[in-house]
Amino acid sequence: MPCKQCQSSNQNVFEGEISIHFRELERLKKLPVLSFEPLIICMDCGFIESRLADGELQELIQRRAGKKDTAD
C-alpha cells in the first residue's frame, strides 16, 4: 500500500515504542500510555503510520475519562 501522504512505495516497518501523554493541564499527573507497535515509515517523506492494540486503546480511553490511576 502506498504512503498516504506522498503515495511513495518506499516504506519500511520498524518496531516502535511510543509514550502517549495527555496535553490538558488537569491531566498532567496522569501516567502516559505506552505502546509497543510496529511503525510503517515512508522513507521519502517521513510519514508514520501505526495502530494501537485494542488493550492500549481501551487504556487510553479509560485514562482520558479519569477512570485510571495517576502518577501520585
Q: What is the pLDDT of residues 7-55, one digit of tens each?
A: 999 999 999 999 988 877 666 677 888 999 999 999 999 999 999 999 9
Q: Note the pTM of the prediction, 2 decimals.
A: 0.73
Positive or negative, the Cα torsion across 40, 18, 35, 63? negative
pLDDT at 21: 84
All structural domains of the chain with their residue ranges: 11-64
Closest of 37, 30, 40, 36 to residue 60, by C-alpha = 30
pLDDT at 65 over 60: yes
Q: Where are the beta strands (DSSP E) in 1-67?
A: 11-15, 18-20, 33-35, 38-42, 48-49
